[in-house]
Structure 1
Amino acid sequence: MVKPCRLEKYSGFLDFADDSDFIGYEIEGNKAILHLNACIMNEKYKSTLENLAQLCQERQIKSLILDLSRNMGGNSAVIDEFITYTNAESFRRYEMIDYSSGEPMQITSRREIVRNKRKPICFPPHILCRVSCHTFSSARTFAVTLKDNGIARVIGTETGGKPNSYGMPRKFAMPASKLRFRVSTSYFMRPDASKDDALTLAIDAIHPKPACQAAECEEKCT
């Protein structure tokens, strides 16, 4: 198939959130909502999780909504850190196969059971993970890991891309045109091997609207 493709100036619509506004939370009634708009593993992320867990305990919060609906990815290290604030005894990670050398090399195995290094104070046991068609890459990996390990129920709309996918791209530029492009070097497989053929992340409930109010979630999204 030959199809003309007009090049247009990049609008910035795929830019990741910066360190200043990528995370925040709010409390509504007996629910806490953690908004994570980019997977950035830094001190702000870690301190926010700690502060929210403490607040949930003090106010006897019954459920937590992890909002990844505007998260296009980043660093997958945020997943393990989040899980340490849950009651999970153990969990399975994604399996990673690295092809960057030209030969497949297994980096992690989904058959390995990882003991959870739980924090002294955890989030409430009822956790919902909100996703959308804008949830990509490491954010999708985040949601899939929580679902496959039974840590959270997934609500919202279908995510962008397949749960099993390529990643860890390397950046290149064409020598003459200077057009930039990326090539993935690794393949990632979800913890639950029985769902390898899934084309998207199956959700447990449908959000009636892309951005419903948190106070409605328990009634409409569970």
Structure 2
Amino acid sequence: MKKILTLFIIILLSTLSFCQEIKTEDWTTDLNFLKSELQKKHINLFFKLTKNEFEEGIEEIISKLDSDSDFETTMKLSQLLAKIGDSHTTINISKFLNIQKNIPINCTWFGEDIHVVSTSKDNYEILDKKMVSINEYHIKTIIDSIKTIFSNDNNATIKKGTIRLINNKKLLDYFGFSKSSDSIYRIGFENSKNQLSFENVATERYDKKTRISTKIDGLRPYYIEGKGNIFKEKYYEKDKIYYIQYNKCISKESVLATGNKLEATKYPSYKKFEQKILNTIETKKVKKLIFDMRFNTGGNSSIIKNLIRQIRVNKSLNQKDKLFVVVGQRTYSSAILNTLAFKHFTNATVIGEETSGMPNHYGNIKSFYLPYSNIKLNYSTKYHNLYKGIDNTIKPDIEIIRTFDDYKKGIDPIYEFVKNY
């Protein structure tokens, strides 16, 4: 009984400390620490925002500490860092965004349309619908506000960054699209005939137990099935197509190289994966190869260097009509560098949608924590200047936009394009 009581007290104290506002003097220390340290550590902090603008921005946040909540302070800091123009220099605001009850919807972009791909069981009638407004505010208006909390490298960055946040009640409250007392949201939808309809959706605890998702007709396409895998491959005997999906630039070997043996056990071996790829290319009749990085948000760009070399010297595959590299809205950071390597060293045809990462960009992230709020701040230590041009995205050689109809039918337009190319 005594142990149970002790445990209860510990849990209660930890809960109270989590809810407790950070003191003004502690925030002041944190913000001055950030102002000083970020200038020292970032490779080129003031390439877009001037030093005076940055320091005045910090002082402005400090001047409002007595009236602002922790959440409001964190939001203003995110907005200031976004003005720096480096999408790798950010703070982690997830713990301030956490709320037990949000609008129970998850959405995905299909071209320029947003569809509800999962919701709660009680709201089954809105599943699959194209969403256009929340509380009479057009989605584009809401996106214009949310995008101020991160660097807007390009249109794909905005799409990627906002789609996961448009259901967050705290953000909607902060930007004035709802009130803290609201628990019902009026969501607007548009059908194929441009006719509007509205549904009242209540905020609720939204998790796997209460979630329903878009039902895909027939078999789920391979690019979706198990897309949580870091990397995977499949040889299609009938079409003689070899499909490789590379979702994250990380592996057992790359983590081991940092000296973290325990962390490395969480990841698969890329060395074994690459050997399987090379063996398949050698032993199977591969007419076309797809290297898919549409979901790859980065990591260590050096991992696939050898594979690119091996593909480069393979004369039967290293041809525009046989080698295809897939990019999309989530292709970012090291995956951008890998895409550029394919473009530079091979004859690959790049297909898909525009990337969220810029060809030339700041990266090689390091981080530090603010002493009192314990907020993690990421910053860049290197500028990657590998692209001769001023484009702010990698535009595919051939654009292939995924539609909701394709998604619903279980069709991968990328695979279908390559098969019929």
Same fold (TM over 0.5): yes
Residue equivalent to 1:204: 397
* 1:55-74 equivalence runs, <5 A: 55-74=280-299
Between the aligned partners of 2:233 and 2:317, the Cα distance in structure 1 is 15
Kindly indicate whether residue 417 of structure 2 is the aligned counterpart of residue 217 of structure 1: yes
Residue equivalent to 1:129: 325
Residue equivalent to 2:376: 180
Residue equivalent to 2:243: 33
**Are the equivalent residues in 2 in contact too, given 1:85–1:123 (CA < 8 A)?**
no
The one of 342, 350, 374 aligned to 1:146: 342
Which of structures 1 and 2 has the bigger CA Rg?
2
- 1:49 to partner: Cα distance: 2.0
Aligned residues: 178
Question: What's the RMSD between the two structures over aligned residues?
Answer: 2.9
Residue equivalent to 1:9: 98
Residue equivalent to 1:21: 229
- 1:9 corresponds to which letter in structure 2? N
- 2:364 corresponds to which letter in structure 1? M
**Are the equivalent residues in 2 in contact too, given 1:35–1:67 (CA < 8 A)?**
yes
- 1:58 to partner: Cα distance: 2.1
SS state at 1:54 partner: helix
Which runs of 4 or more aligned residues in structure 1 lie more than 4 Å from their structure 2 counterparts after TM superposition? 1-4
Between the aligned partners of 2:300 and 2:347, the Cα distance in structure 1 is 20
SS state at 1:168 partner: strand
Between the aligned partners of 1:56 and 1:204, the Cα distance in structure 2 is 25
The one of 311, 329, 333 aligned to 1:86: 311
More off after superposition, 166-175 vs 204-213: 204-213
Structure with more relative contact order (C-alpha pairs < 8 Å, separation 6 or more) = 1
**Are the equivalent residues in 2 in contact too, given 1:132–1:160 (CA < 8 A)?**
yes
- 1:174 to partner: Cα distance: 1.4
SS state at 2:326 partner: strand
**Are the equivalent residues in 2 in contact too, given 1:156–1:203 (CA < 8 A)?**
yes
SS state at 1:169 partner: strand
- 1:152 to partner: Cα distance: 1.6
SS state at 2:97 partner: coil
Residue equivalent to 1:103: none
**What are structure 1's unaligned runs of at least 5 residues?**
14-19, 89-120
- 2:229 corresponds to which letter in structure 1? D
More off after superposition, 48-57 vs 133-142: 48-57
Aligned sequence identity (%): 24
- 1:127 corresponds to which letter in structure 2? L
- 1:73 to partner: Cα distance: 0.7
Would you tell me which structure has more helix in proportion to its own residues? 2
Between the aligned partners of 2:419 and 2:285, the Cα distance in structure 1 is 20
Between the aligned partners of 1:24 and 1:30, the Cα distance in structure 2 is 17
TM-score w.r.t. length of structure 2: 0.38
